[in-house]
Chain A
Amino acid sequence: GAGVSQSPSNKVTEKGKDVELRCDPISGHTALYWYRQSLGQGLEFLIYFQGNSAPDKSGLPSDRFSAERTGGSVSTLTIQRTQQEDSAVYLCASSLAGISNEQFFGPGTRLTVL
């Protein structure tokens, strides 16, 4: 389809393991965002990529979190040494340009850390 896709849809891991979450944005969208949504909470901004500019990493909660965007398209969010508090839905969104444009969201990856 033409929308934002994320994989896997669900991920269960053990505490201390590393996980990689993937996001395929809409083709041609220059901006890509990662958010985290815990149960009953709003969206917590994690990281923002815009074109070839250095990403805005100001929302990453610790140095265990990192993200890459290869070739201006696909992005991978990596969480090292996962903790139980990392359990949440991780949402990816893309848009044509900057923050003020409509963000199109993927369905999210539900991460459960046991």
Chain B
Amino acid sequence: GENVEQHPSTLSVQEGDSAVIKCTYSDSASNYFPWYKQELGKRPQLIIDIRSNVGEKKDQRIAVTLNKTAKHFSLHITETQPEDSAVYFCAAQITGNQFYFGTGTSLTVIP
């Protein structure tokens, strides 16, 4: 099956700085890559996703980039705010129904 690795496991940034979380995947057949945010005590929620036919996608302060050749994708958060503090999960989906999740990154934004 697919193997998704996520780094770093914890990340602290000053408010206003940028944060970058990276994921690698093993199966070149993976073609859908969502990112989920999980605030403390809450359920994971989709914040952005990218398909394999696109190299970059942006939504306000959040962007995701995909490098299919290197089999890695990254989440970029600019102008971080305290409410961005959460655990972020990347995932990869091969054709079919199963998703493979990374182990999560705990992001802390220091005011």
A and B part of one assembly: no
